[in-house]
Amino acid sequence: MPQTAILQKIEDAIDTVRPHLIADGGNVEIVEYRADKVLVVRYTGACKLCSMSEMTLRAGISRAVMTNVPEVLEVIAVASND
């Protein structure tokens, strides 16, 4: 499957949890989808400082992505640039 198609599937999966993030004043963005099938994301807004961000990553984002996009084997979050 082409990289652009995989990235679109990832965005679609993230969009299923994005309203919950936005409701709490945050969001998430894709940093990269690596050749080793790892998705790297970065939290934005209130999510950057939230103590529940690791749980959100595991129970929300990772689950949504890995359930709907079998090309992703792991989802990790990196620190914000600001």
Strands 74-78 and 38-45, by their bridges, are parallel
> Which amino acid makes up residue 31?
V
Supply the pLDDT for residue 41. 95
24-77 pLDDT, tens digit each? 898 999 999 999 999 999 998 887 777 878 878 788 999 999 999 999 999 999
Confidence bin at 6 (pLDDT 50/70/90) = very high
Domain 3-78 has CATH 3.30.300.130: yes
CA distances from 39 to 23, 24, 70 (A): 23, 23, 12
Put the strands of the sheet holding 26-33 in their side by side order: 26-33, 38-45, 74-78
Q: How far is CA 52 from the centre of its chain?
A: 14
* Domain coordinates in residue numbering, the chain: 3-78
Cβ pair 69, 62 in contact under 8 A: no
The contacts of residue 18 (CB under 8 Å, 6+ apart) are: 27, 28
